[in-house]
Structures are given as structure tokens and as C-alpha cells.
């Protein structure tokens, strides 16, 4: 079994990208597509991917960002989160996502919402729970276990907004 990848911001970013690609492919609740040409994909400080939820017969599809390490929790551990942006989320999804603020699930801890006056924009963030976060960042973990945590997290969030 392959050893888990080192998820520090200075190491193994290509490995994280590959892990995230595999997790996205394994998500069973929705058809997803990585957005490689999204304008913000060029921001160098971002570690993660923009992902589109593909909807048949829908004019607008929702998009989310999944990434890690920009911020740290109170224990100074890097975070892993999934985020919806009001600017890229159709009302049908945005209304469901907003209602989840303050709730928690198996994989995600309390959902947070944010509004930035300077950008006149809002976001809803789903953060991976601490017990899974510790496992996910443990380099002695099996890479398959990291993949299962990431896939389970994405699946759970998408199931909640269906």
C-alpha cells in the first residue's frame, strides 16, 4: 500500500492535485468537472481546484472550490474545506447551501458563512472535521485512506445540497 502524501504547502502539490482528481472521479452523487480555465485558477496562493457540478437540462450549473492550507484552525493545523461562492452558485443551490450554515455532518464540522463588504460577495464554507483532518494530514496514513476521506467529504456536501 502506498504511503500517504505530505500535505504541507511546500511539498507534494502535484501529489495533492492527483489525489483530488481521483477523489473527484470517485464522487458518486453527481457528475463533476474540474474547471482548468477558470480565471481564478491562476492565483498562485490557491491550493486546490474549482469544480463544476454538471446538470443536465439546466442553464446554470453550480461551482465550488475545494482546497487546503490557506488558513489554520485554532490548533494551528492546516484546514481542508469546500466552499461555495454566491457569484458562481445559482439561486437554486445557493438557497440550499445557505440553509446548511451552522449544521454539521459526518465529515464536515459546523458550516460557516461569510460576507465581505469590500467585495460585496458571500461564501459558504464546509470544513473537514478535526478527527478526519488529523488522519488526512498524517503522512503515515495509507494514500487510499486519504482518498476515501476526501471523497467522503465531497460526497457528503453534495448529498446535502441535492
Q: State which H helix or E strand residue 110 sits in.
A: strand 108-116
Reported confidence tier of residue 10, pLDDT bands at 50, 70, 90: very low
pLDDT at 117 over 90: no
The overall average pLDDT reported for the chain is: 83
What is the rounded CA–CA span in Å between residue 68 and residue 8? Answer: 9
Count of CB atoms within 10 A of residue 123's CB? 18
* Strand order, beta sheet including 63-72: 31-34, 48-54, 63-72, 78-85, 121-128, 108-116
Give the residue with greater pLDDT, 139 vs 97.
97
Reported confidence tier of residue 79, pLDDT bands at 50, 70, 90: confident
What is the rounded CA–CA span in Å between residue 56 and residue 150? Answer: 25
The whole-number pLDDT of residue 70 equals 60
What is the rounded CA–CA span in Å between residue 89 and residue 85? Answer: 6
Spans of all domains in the chain: 13-161
pLDDT at 44 over 70: no
Give the residue with greater pLDDT, 63 vs 47.
63
| Whole-structure pTM value | 0.85
Reported confidence tier of residue 49, pLDDT bands at 50, 70, 90: confident
Mean pLDDT of 1-5: 61
pLDDT at 76 over 70: no
Which CATH number is 13-161's, of 2.60.40, 1.10.3470, 3.40.390, 3.30.1460?
A: 3.30.1460
Mean pLDDT of 28-53: 75
Amino acid at each position: 500500500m502506498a504511503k500517504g502524501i505530505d500535505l504541507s504547502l511546500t511539498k507534494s502539490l502535484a501529489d495533492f492535485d492527483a489525489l483530488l482528481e481521483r477523489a473527484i472521479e470517485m464522487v458518486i452523487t453527481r457528475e463533476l468537472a474540474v474547471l482548468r480555465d477558470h480565471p481564478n485558477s491562476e492565483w498562485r496562493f490557491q491550493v486546490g481546484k474549482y469544480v463544476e457540478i454538471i446538470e443536465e437540462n439546466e442553464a446554470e450549473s453550480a461551482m465550488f472550490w475545494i482546497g487546503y492550507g490557506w488558513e489554520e484552525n485554532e490548533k494551528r493545523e492546516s484546514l481542508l474545506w469546500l466552499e461555495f461562492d454566491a457569484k458562481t452558485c445559482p439561486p437554486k443551490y445557493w438557497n440550499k447551501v445557505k440553509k446548511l450554515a451552522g449544521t454539521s455532518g459526518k465529515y464536515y464540522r459546523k458550516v460557516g458563512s461569510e460576507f465581505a463588504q469590500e467585495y460585496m460577495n458571500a461564501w459558504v464554507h464546509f470544513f473537514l472535521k478535526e478527527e478526519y483532518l488529523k488522519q488526512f494530514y498524517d503522512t503515515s496514513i495509507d494514500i487510499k485512506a486519504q482518498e476515501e476521506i476526501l471523497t467522503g467529504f465531497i460526497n457528503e456536501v453534495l448529498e446535502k445540497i441535492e
